[in-house]
């Protein structure tokens, strides 16, 4: 039942064996009760989600191969052989199972999970049979509309006024849809999207702990563990990925993480600007990539309408540009990991920050990515 790339890789086989054994142990009530008794519920959620994802991924690899749901090299693709898609299903199953097993879902979080699953189902169909980008965008907009109707929206303007609610709703749509698609766009190299998602989840979990939001922290930790359990099959220093995250995983992970950021309160003080600055810094790599390619494509005339912008695909994303400079995919992935972690650390400093502090840290993020853009531009001119 296991695919050829999996059978040929001994470390992956060992990891799968350990993950499967750990999954079987962790579902026993005695073990879960022990972690709760010692006050380490977060560790139990991390181990459970990681082991479940690690145990499920080889099975998903086999299913995707049998159904011929594979990514074939060519065009803007930079991998060398056909690779199974649907890896995101392992993350989805592990993430949801770990949350339901710990009974930490309120009504709004159930709405988020349901929305994420709807987005993922559309992406499964897209991985199998291509769907026009505008239809996928329409589904995402409808799902976010349901979120807003259930009270899950940003709180930056006075909600008691019509204009305040309208602006908060618009920003919520831009945030969730933007992050969802940016996570999908950055999924262009082995381990990149899953690793960035893990880093984002880690820092959301840390800031949730700082701001005394245990439930939000547990949800972020569940996503962290799910991505960590998937990564050994998706990222290897010596071999190509055995399976890709696929649109299924990247859109689900992006949607859920974006919704968590909207749902949470990310500052100890009642300052909405400071609270929103924390997720902005944590998600900065995704925001920067989406903003850069949009501006660059419009300024260079690559897209001239909203329809063209939705449908356009190209090798101009952050990882593509860095690859032109570094000529090594793994160096590019680690570079983006470090960049994401560096900006995430800035978010930790916002716990008791003033408005000016948050503005300065966001300004620092602009400067860091500005330096990277200058280096990229100079490197491309010399090539």
* pLDDT single digits (tens) 305-334: 777 777 777 788 889 889 988 888 999 999
Instruction: Choose the most confident range, by mean pLDDT, from 16-20, 79-83, 140-144, 260-264.
Output: 140-144
What pTM was estimated for this model as a whole?
Answer: 0.91
Closest-CA residue to 232 (of 5, 4, 76): 5
Average pLDDT of 16-30?
83
- The tokens for 74 are 């060519």
Q: What is the mean pLDDT of residues 43-66?
A: 92
Q: Where are the domains of the chain?
A: 4-382
Angle, alpha carbons 172-190-312 (nearest 5°): 50
pLDDT at 3: 53
Average pLDDT of span 269-296: 89
pLDDT at residue 8, as a whole number: 56
Query: What is the average pLDDT value for the chain, to the nearest integer?
Result: 87
The predicted pLDDT at position 60 comes to 92
Count of Cβ atoms closer than 10 Å to residue 111 Cβ: 20
31: tokens are: 């073990």
Of residues 349 and 71, more confidence is placed in 349
Highest mean pLDDT among 26-40, 176-190, 259-273: 176-190
For the segment 31-51, the average pLDDT, to the nearest whole number, is 86
Residue 161 CA, chain-centre distance (Å), reads 33
- In this predicted model, which residue has the larger pLDDT, 132 or 292? 292
Whole-angstrom distance, CA of residue 238 vs CA of residue 11: 12
So what's the pLDDT on residue 141?
A: 96
Q: How far is CA 324 from the centre of its chain?
A: 24
Show the tokens assigned to 366: 């602009």
pLDDT given at position 380: 64
Q: Residue 2: pLDDT above 60?
A: no
Supply 341's token pair: 């972690």
More confident residue, 379 or 205: 205
The pLDDT of 186-202, averaged and rounded, is 94
Tell me the average pLDDT across 365-381: 83
Query: d(Cα 159, Cα 169) in Å, to the nearest integer?
Result: 10
Among 278, 251, 241, smallest CA distance to 355 is for 278
pLDDT given at position 179: 96
More confident residue, 268 or 374: 374
> Residue with structure tokens 């109707």?
149
**Block residue for tokens 């990310």:** 266
pLDDT of residue 255: 97
């Amino acid at each position: 039942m296991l695919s050829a790339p999996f059978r040929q890789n001994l470390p992956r086989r060992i990891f799968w064996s350990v993950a499967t054994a750990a999954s079987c142990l962790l579902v026993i009530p005695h073990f879960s009760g022990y972690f709760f008794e010692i006050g380490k519920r977060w560790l139990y959620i991390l181990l459970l989600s990681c082991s479940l994802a690690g145990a499920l991924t080889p099975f998903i690899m086999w299913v995707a191969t049998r159904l011929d749901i594979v990514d074939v090299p060519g065009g803007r693709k930079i991998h060398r052989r056909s690779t199974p898609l649907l890896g995101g299903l392992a993350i989805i199953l592990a993430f949801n199972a770990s949350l339901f097993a710990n009974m930490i879902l309120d009504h709004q979080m159930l709405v988020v999970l349901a929305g994420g699953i709807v987005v993922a189902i559309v992406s499964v169909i897209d991985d199998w049979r291509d769907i026009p980008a505008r239809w996928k965008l329409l589904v995402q907009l409808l799902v976010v509309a349901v979120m807003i109707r259930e009270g899950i929206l940003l709180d930056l303007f006075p909600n008691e006024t019509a204009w305040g609610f309208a602006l908060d709703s618009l920003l919520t749509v831009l945030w969730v849809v933007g992050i969802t698609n940016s996570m999908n766009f950055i999924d262009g190299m082995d381990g990149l999207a899953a690793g960035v998602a893990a880093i984002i989840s880690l820092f959301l979990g840390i800031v949730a702990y700082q701001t005394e939001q245990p439930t939000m922290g547990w949800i972020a930790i569940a996503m962290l563990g799910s991505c960590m359990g998937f990564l050994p099959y998706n990222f290897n220093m010596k071999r190509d990925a055995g399976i890709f995250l696929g649109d299924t995983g990247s859109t689900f992970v992006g949607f859920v993480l974006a919704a968590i950021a909207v749902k949470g309160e990310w500052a100890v003080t009642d300052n909405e600007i400071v609270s929103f600055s924390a997720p902005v810094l944590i998600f900065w790599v995704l925001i920067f990539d989406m903003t850069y390619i949009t501006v660059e494509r419009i300024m260079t005339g690559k897209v001239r309408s909203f329809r063209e912008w939705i449908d356009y695909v190209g090798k101009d994303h952050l990882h593509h540009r860095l690859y032109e400079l570094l000529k090594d995919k793994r160096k590019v992935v680690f570079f983006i990991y470090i960049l994401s972690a560096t900006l995430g650390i800035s978010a930790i400093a916002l716990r008791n920050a003033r408005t000016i502090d948050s503005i300065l840290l966001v300004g620092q993020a602009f400067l860091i990515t500005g330096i990277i853009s200058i280096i990229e531009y100079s490197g491309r001119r010399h090539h």
